[in-house]
Amino acid sequence: STVYLKDYRPPSFLIPEVVLDIDLQSEDEALVQATLAVRRNPEGAASGTLVLDLDEVAVEAVAIDGEPLVPARWQADARHLTIRDVPESFRLATRSRIHPRRNTKLMGIYTSSTGFFSLCEAEGFRRITPFLDRPDVMARYTVTLHADEERYPVLLANGNLEAQGAEGGGRHWARWVDPFPKPSYLFAVVAARLDREQDSFRTRSGRSVLLQFFVEPGKLDQGRFALDALKQAMKWDEERYGLEVDLDEYNVVAVGDFNAGAMENKGLNIFNTKLVLARADISTDGDFNFIDRTVAHEYFHNWTGNRVTCRDWFQLALKEGLTVFREQQYAGDRYSRAVARIQAVRNLRTGQFPEDAGPMAHPVRPAAYQQVSNFYTATVYQKGAELVRMMHTLVGPENFRKGIALYFRLHDGHAVTTDALVEAIEQASGADLGQFRLWYEQAGTPRLAVRDRYDEATHTYELTVTQSCPPTPGQPTKQALHIPLAVGLLGPNGREFALRVEGEKNGRGTSTVLSLRGETEVFRFLDVPARPVPSLARNFSAPVLVDYPYDEDALQLLLGYDSDPFNRWEAGQRLAMDLLLVGVADFRAGRPVQFPDYLAQAFGRVLADAEQDPAFAAEALSLPPEVVVAEQLQEIDPLAVHRVRFAMRTFLAERLHDAFQGAYERYETPGAYSPDAVSAGRRALRNLSLAFLMDLGAPTTRQRAVRQLETATNMTDALAALSALANCDCPERRVALDAFYAKWQDEPLVVDKWLATEALSRLPGTVERVRDLTLHPAFTLQNPNKVYALLGSFGVNQVNFHAADGSGYRLMTEQALLLDAVNPQVASRMVRNFERYGRFEPVRRDLMRAALEQIAAKPGLSRETAEVVGKALA
Ligand code: ARG
Ligand code: ZN
């Protein structure tokens, strides 16, 4: 059943106060007693019947104001607890039972190896106790936990510890009070055996906040990096936004079984171990970076999400788009700004653009959903962040900050909509964002067709920009959007021209943001001394596709000289992309695939100049990902894309062989490991050089990879060598993979890397190998990390998941169906690997559709998966 934004009504009742007593009697059973202060909402529809949400909770008793209710007054079915004839204002007491160990969906309270953990966003709280489980119902929580003291020495909940003690039978209890009213999705409890690392943070107003990190026993040495990251993030938010931590105590818990990456529960963040535990020998540079930003992300939610929260789940991007944007700013400040931007855009292009062009396409603020858990998407998170970034670009950093300050002034403590954010920025800046709001409502990736004309006689340069957006489900026609287009103009020698736009008195420097509002707009630049090369959408100023007929000379000029590093990178991507697309056409027509010398020369220059910024060079030398190339095709033939891209890699490896070998030697990072941006950049370039060389497969290179794998003192270098070997059809391959597992079998996060490396291999035999690995003792469908590592990685393997005989699809179908009965949220993500079948060539299209039909036909399919297959097949 579908929920619509237009049907939003304020709740009929409010619950300002919650007192919970959770008795964790055993792993199998917990007794949950809730006392709720309930009163009618003057803003809601008057009703004498209270309908609370519930899910897999067995209600045993209900009382109002201390009086037990006779069974006729209340009724519980699978989804709701309905109570008739309730007064205006009352205390509702319920007693229920839940079953943590049986909770394989990992929503609500569940067990993991060391105890009890919780995840409530979005609708997990109803799996703990009957409640109005919607974010516009905000309450103060007092929570008492009871558990066995020896097995679960650590008891945690949101807010501040108020009291604790021992009770009979070797058990203990603890009471926590959260002073801030919060929506139920921010509720959290933990009862477990955990080690603790403690520190403190002094806020700029002089308060001292206790910081505690809790990790599995024995893993304390892996917690320090994240704890330091938290302190950095707290400081950054004070400096950048003037936002201070508002609690006396801030706790972070790591758990190995977790559906999400991490969760911003008020004062009690719960993290997937893979996004908190870090140590040089088991974590890559990418992991360190991702952990730093995720710790910051969850912390930033304390203001953008918790203090100001979402009115309903259609507004998810209110907190996620804004928080991802803040996380991106933080990463830009702490690492290389250009590289951070490049990586964000690559993620958008590999994850969000395909989503926006498929059957699950939805606006950043969706208008309807069946299961909100299916809407934690690239569109809500990443495109949502791009929308915030565009507002930042349109009003400027100063006004943006004022807008955010006003947003908090107006909405602190409230549950609001995405409009509240846009309005605050609008009011504080004086900008008109009326048309801009459409970005929140309209799905699909807009395309800008840019054409130009230079008039020698008048030295006038004209850019004509036409926007269009393809139809998406439920939105056959689109309106014109307000698009910020940052541009610069490069002269023939690479120098940038000063910009003067017709009709404006003042010049605009060498870079300016044009506001595109109409379907077609013409911008005229005056006093342009020579025909320029336009640098368009600098720093990726809008989440759009820009179509301009660059020739290779123009792209080489941009690659060499553009003052905007993002567009330098972009020029290299375009250069490669144009040639890849020609190559794919040739390949499919049976013609030989060839590449021109200028490609090797352009990449060679990047490599030669790499010393100034190795991290940037590594990005610039990375060819467009296969999915991004595929997205450009009328009809996707993944094998053709792979073959042609691989041919380009070997072409470059041959032509630049000596330069890559030189880079491999030169960019060593001697001394102790540090995950800082400069060292990480050198490793990235060195390992990229190794990967190119490995595509040629020479025995000496293979030996080099083996040596790197055996002698590496950090996981970045070890894993780079292992992945190179995993894609090499050579005798060293199996030995390396087996040895890696043998060495790391007791480190679950490293086992995940091994599973992923196996599943991502482009070599024949991978489907069978992945099938075998589903039966390997290291794999289980019960643990989301294992599923993401093996099946999630396999799903993005363009060669083997998309094997023409359908074997990859069969494997994914079987596993997804098994998984659906265990953890439907994770299963529906796996099923999404099939959703874009309509974009593929006929053989795969039919096989993928058949897979979806087979999944759809399964009796008892979860709602989560049913939504995905239903939309895909519609
Ligand atoms: N709010 C979390 C974050 O982005 C994500 C929670 C996702 N929930 C889930 N069940 N997958 O920081
Ligand atoms: Zn988030």
CA of 318 to the centre of ligand 2 (A): 10
CA of 261 to the centre of ligand 1 (A): 7
CB of 262 closer than 6 A to ligand 1?
yes
CA of 264 to the centre of ligand 1 (A): 8
User: Is the distance from CB of 696 to CB of 657 less than 8 angstroms?
Assistant: yes
For residue 258, give the ligand nearest its CA.
1
CB of 298 closer than 6 A to ligand 1?
yes
* CA of residue 175 relative to chain centroid, distance: 34
Which candidate, 114, 126, 144, 151, places its Cα nearest to that of 53?
126
CA angle 634-440-836, nearest 5°?
25
- Of 121, 133, 257, 291, the residue with max ligand 1 atoms within 8 A of its CB, to mutate for a pocket test, comes to 121
For atom 2 of ligand 1, which residue has the closest CA?
Answer: 263
- Of 268, 376, 380, the residue with max ligand 1 atoms within 8 A of its CB, to mutate for a pocket test, comes to 376
CB of 186 closer than 6 A to ligand 1?
no
Contacts of 355 (CB under 8 A, 6+ apart): 361, 377, 378, 379
CB of 804 closer than 6 A to ligand 1?
no
For atom 1 of ligand 1, which residue has the closest CA?
Answer: 263
Q: Which pLDDT score, from 0 to 100, does residue 508 have?
A: 82
Residue whose entry in the numeric block shows the structure tokens 């004509």: 464
Which ranges of 252-396 would DSSP assign to H, the alpha helix? 285-300, 316-334, 337-347, 353-356, 378, 384-395
CB of 315 closer than 6 A to ligand 1?
no
Retrieve residue 588's tokens: 């499919």
Indicate the burial class of 400 (C-beta count within 10 angstroms; 0-12, 13-18, 19 or more). Answer: buried
Note whether ipTM > 0.95 here. Answer: yes
- Of 187, 263, 276, the residue with max ligand 1 atoms within 8 A of its CB, to mutate for a pocket test, comes to 263
pLDDT for 455-499, tens place per residue? Answer: 999 999 999 999 999 999 999 999 999 999 999 999 999 999 999
Which ranges of 494-596 would DSSP assign to H, the alpha helix? 552-561, 565-588
CB of 259 closer than 6 A to ligand 1?
yes
Contacts of 698 (CB under 8 A, 6+ apart): none
The H or E element spanning position 183 is strand 171-183
CA of 332 to the centre of ligand 1 (A): 23
CA of 262 to the centre of ligand 1 (A): 6
CA of 439 to the centre of ligand 2 (A): 20
User: Is the distance from CB of 787 to CB of 819 less than 8 angstroms?
Assistant: yes
CA of 310 to the centre of ligand 1 (A): 14
d(CA 247, CA 262): 19
CB of 796 closer than 6 A to ligand 1?
no
Q: How many residues does the chain have?
A: 874
CB of 356 closer than 6 A to ligand 1?
no
Calculate the alpha carbon distances from 85 to 47, 51, 69, 78 in Å.
Answer: 9, 11, 11, 21
For residue 326, give the ligand nearest its CA.
2
Residue 377, Ramachandran bin (φ over 0: left; ψ between -120 and 50: alpha; else beta): beta
CB of 620 closer than 6 A to ligand 1?
no
* CA of residue 481 relative to chain centroid, distance: 25
Contacts of 106 (CB under 8 A, 6+ apart): 119, 257, 258, 259, 784, 823, 825
Q: Strand runs (DSSP E) across 421-480, as ranges?
A: 447-455, 460-468
Q: How many CA atoms lie within 13 A of 681 on its CB side?
A: 20
Retrieve residue 711's tokens: 């002698």
CA of 324 to the centre of ligand 1 (A): 12
d(CA 709, CA 704): 9
Which candidate, 809, 805, 804, places its Cα nearest to that of 830?
809
DSSP letter, residue 76: E
In the structure, how many helices (H) and strands (E) does the chain have? Answer: 29, 31
Residue whose entry in the numeric block shows the structure tokens 């990443």: 382
DSSP letter, residue 611: G
* 298: annotated active-site residue: yes
Q: What is the largest distance, in Å, between two alpha-carbon atoms of the chain?
A: 95
Atom of ligand 1 nearest to the CA of 260: 11
Which candidate, 261, 282, 236, places its Cα nearest to that of 675?
282
CB of 260 closer than 6 A to ligand 1?
yes
For atom 7 of ligand 1, which residue has the closest CA?
Answer: 260
Q: What is the crossing angle of helices 565-588 and 638-655, to 10°?
A: 120
For atom 3 of ligand 1, which residue has the closest CA?
Answer: 263
Retrieve residue 440's tokens: 């929140």
Residue 147 main-chain phi, psi, to 5 deg:
-160, 170
User: Is the distance from CB of 81 to CB of 94 less than 8 angstroms?
Assistant: yes
User: Is the distance from CB of 428 to CB of 402 less than 8 angstroms?
Assistant: yes
Atom of ligand 1 nearest to the CA of 121: 8
Cβ density class 143-180: b for 16+ within 10 Å, e for less: bbbbbbeebbebbbbbbebeeeeeeeeebbbbbbbbeb
* CA of residue 346 relative to chain centroid, distance: 12
pTM of structure: 0.99
DSSP letter, residue 872: H
For residue 275, give the ligand nearest its CA.
1
Retrieve residue 499's tokens: 């910009």
Sequence letter at residue 460: T
Question: Please, which residues bridge with residue 76 across strands?
Answer: 81
For residue 186, give the ligand nearest its CA.
1
Atom of ligand 1 nearest to the CA of 107: 10
Q: Which pLDDT score, from 0 to 100, does residue 681 have?
A: 98
Query: Which stretches in the chain have pLDDT values below 70?
Result: none
Calculate the alpha carbon distances from 58 to 85, 99, 415, 644 in Å.
Answer: 22, 9, 30, 58
CA of 297 to the centre of ligand 2 (A): 6
Retrieve residue 714's tokens: 């950090």
First to last CA, the chain: 15
The single residue of 121, 123, 197, 298 carrying the catalytic annotation is 298
> For residue 367, how many other CB atoms are within 10 A of its CB?
16
Question: Please, which residues bridge with residue 117 across strands?
Answer: 110
d(CA 156, CA 178): 12
For atom 9 of ligand 1, which residue has the closest CA?
Answer: 260
Which ranges of 396-434 would DSSP assign to H, the alpha helix? 397-411, 418-429
Atom of ligand 1 nearest to the CA of 298: 12
Contacts of 645 (CB under 8 A, 6+ apart): 580, 623, 624, 626, 629
Q: Which pLDDT score, from 0 to 100, does residue 429 have?
A: 98
CA of 829 to the centre of ligand 2 (A): 18
CB of 513 closer than 6 A to ligand 1?
no
For atom 12 of ligand 1, which residue has the closest CA?
Answer: 263
The H or E element spanning position 681 is helix 677-694
The alpha carbons of the chain give a radius of gyration, in whole angstroms, of: 28
Contacts of 664 (CB under 8 A, 6+ apart): 686, 689, 690, 693, 704
Atom of ligand 1 nearest to the CA of 263: 2
The H or E element spanning position 853 is helix 842-856
d(CA 478, CA 443): 9
CA of 121 to the centre of ligand 1 (A): 6
User: Is the distance from CB of 547 to CB of 447 less than 8 angstroms?
Assistant: yes
CB of 426 closer than 6 A to ligand 1?
no
CB of 123 closer than 6 A to ligand 1?
no
CA of 67 to the centre of ligand 1 (A): 38
Sequence letter at residue 676: D
CB of 296 closer than 6 A to ligand 1?
no
User: Is the distance from CB of 135 to CB of 311 less than 8 angstroms?
Assistant: yes
Q: Is 462 helix (H, G, I), strand (E, B) or coil?
A: strand
CA of 1 to the centre of ligand 2 (A): 26
Q: Is 31 helix (H, G, I), strand (E, B) or coil?
A: strand
CB of 327 closer than 6 A to ligand 1?
no
pLDDT for 811-840, tens place per residue? Answer: 999 999 999 999 999 999 999 999 999 999
d(CA 328, CA 332): 6
